[in-house]
Amino acid sequence: MEYRRLGKTGYNVSIIGFGGIPIQQNTQEEADLLIKTCISQGINFIDTARGYTVSEELIGNALKKMNAKDIYIATKTMGRTYEAAKKDFEISYKNLGRETIDLYQFHNIAKIEDYNTVMGENGAMKFFKEMQKKGYIREIGLSSHSADLMNIALDSGEFSTMQFPINAVESQGFPLIEKAKKFDIGTIAMKPIAGGVLMNHGKESLKYILENKNLDVAIPGMWSLDEVMTNTSIGNNFIPLSDEEKAELLEEAKSLGTDFCRRCNYCQPCRVGINISQMFTLDLYKTKYNLVDWAEARYDTEKVKADECIKCGDCESRCPYHLPIINKLEGVSERFEGAR
Ligand code: SF4
Ligand code: SF4
């Protein structure tokens, strides 16, 4: 496995890290095997979040059983105030069962108002710093989908790492990691295969971003052993993309445009219970990847379907990509239900 220094943290991290969103669907037994396999393949950086339901717990339990050492654990809080961050931290700390959390991050700071709250007098940063002083947190980082916000955070000098979506479709992260390198801030790529939508070129997308030495670690979400083996094989035997592979990847990326769902689920919960990202995923499989029967069969099993949207708009205000969800759901409904 290739390792890179994660900026000023000094951590020597595997270029393929573990993204902790999909593990939520695993049992503890499956999670144990998954984490064990990741570590045996050289992964030493695991990223999770308080917001990923049982992810921290599954990972924490797996690591405890293995008595795994020299593994860097990163988690995050959506808490913006001192009290909210404290509440989250106490749960994360218990879930992960470690003496110190290697990297504690502000999760998905989207607006300047949130950033100002975090950095303000009774903000979450005050709590982070107290915990850091006491040795419960080693390093402080943040994640965001906003390039403007990330620029402000990089300039502040307050953070050891930045986490941003970087993949073949989303190129706005490249100037950010270049800037971060100048400040010796560690760089973490979330959504390295664009939330899984670069289905035909997942490996190529990982290679594409990791060829850029300003990036320290990519954290694809993984829940199956196959995914672990495929992704870690890249870090274990890094072969740069050929010109042909690169051209094909960029062609697929171009065909997706920017108006696609990254399956981050920040839009949830939906008032009527629509699984929004699932709707868009099934639509993509049906229309772009031609998995018509499979997608329609899966759509039929969804309890609440796209046409049940009451257009309240709650989800749209939460989507970091500002997707026109209501409009897009109408399209899904037409393609799945209108065709019957
Ligand atoms: S606009 Fe539709 S999809 Fe979005 S939260 Fe409201 S009901 Fe759910
Ligand atoms: S609609 Fe937006 S918030 Fe919801 S999963 Fe897709 S990208 Fe994320």
Q: Report the separation in Å between the CA atom of 105 and the middle of ligand 2, taken as the mean of its atom positions.
A: 21
Kindly state whether residues 241 and 308 are assigned to the same domain: no
Contact 9, 186 (CB under 8 A): yes
Q: Quick one: pLDDT at residue 290?
A: 73
198: domain CATH number?
3.20.20.100
The residue whose CB lies within 8 Å of the most ligand 1 atoms, and thus the one to mutate among 275, 276, 315, is 315
Please indicate, yes or no, if residue 144 is contained in any of the structural domains. Answer: yes
Spatial strand order in the sheet of 137-143: 18-19, 45-47, 72-77, 101-106, 137-143, 161-165, 186-190, 217-218
Residue 226's pLDDT is what? 93
**Which ligand is located closest to the Cα atom of residue 108?**
2
Question: Mapping DSSP to helix (H, G, I), strand (E, B) and coil, where does residue 208 land?
Answer: helix
One domain, residues 125 and 168: yes
pLDDT of residue 235: 95
In DSSP terms, 4 is beta-bridged to 13
Classify residue 29 by its DSSP letter.
Answer: H
pLDDT of residue 339: 55
Q: What does the DSSP assignment read for 89-135?
A: HHHHHHHHT-SSEEEEEE----SHHHHHHHHSTTBHHHHHHHHHHHT
d(CA 53, CA 193): 22
Query: What's at 326, amino acid-wise?
Result: I
Shared domain for 234 and 304, answered yes or no, is no
Are 21 and 164 in the same domain?
yes
> What is the distance of C-alpha 267 from the center of its chain?
14
Q: Which residues line ligand 1 (CB under 6 A)?
A: 270-272, 274, 276, 309-315, 325-326, 329
Q: Identify which ligand lies nearest to the alpha carbon of 274.
A: 1
Give me the tens of pLDDT residue by residue for the chain, a chain 340 residues long.
Answer: 999 999 999 999 999 999 998 898 899 999 999 999 999 999 999 999 999 999 999 999 999 999 777 999 999 999 999 999 999 999 999 999 999 999 999 999 988 999 999 999 999 999 999 999 999 999 999 999 899 999 999 999 999 999 999 988 888 899 999 999 999 999 999 989 877 777 678 889 999 999 999 999 999 999 999 999 999 999 999 999 999 999 999 988 888 777 888 888 889 999 999 999 999 988 988 887 777 888 898 899 899 999 999 999 999 999 988 999 999 999 999 999 875 5
From 107, 108, 264, 268, the mutation candidate for ligand 2 (largest count of ligand atoms within 8 A of CB) is: 264
Q: Whose CA is nearest to atom 8 of ligand 1?
A: 270
Q: What is the pLDDT of residue 193?
A: 87
Residue with the nearest Cα to atom 5 of ligand 1? 270
Residues 275 and 304 sit within 8 Å (Cβ to Cβ) = yes
pLDDT value at position 237?
93
Q: Which amino acid is at 33?
A: L
For residues 289 and 233, membership in a common domain is answered with no
Pairing of strands 161-165, 217-218: unpaired
Q: What range does the domain containing 17 cover? A: 3-251
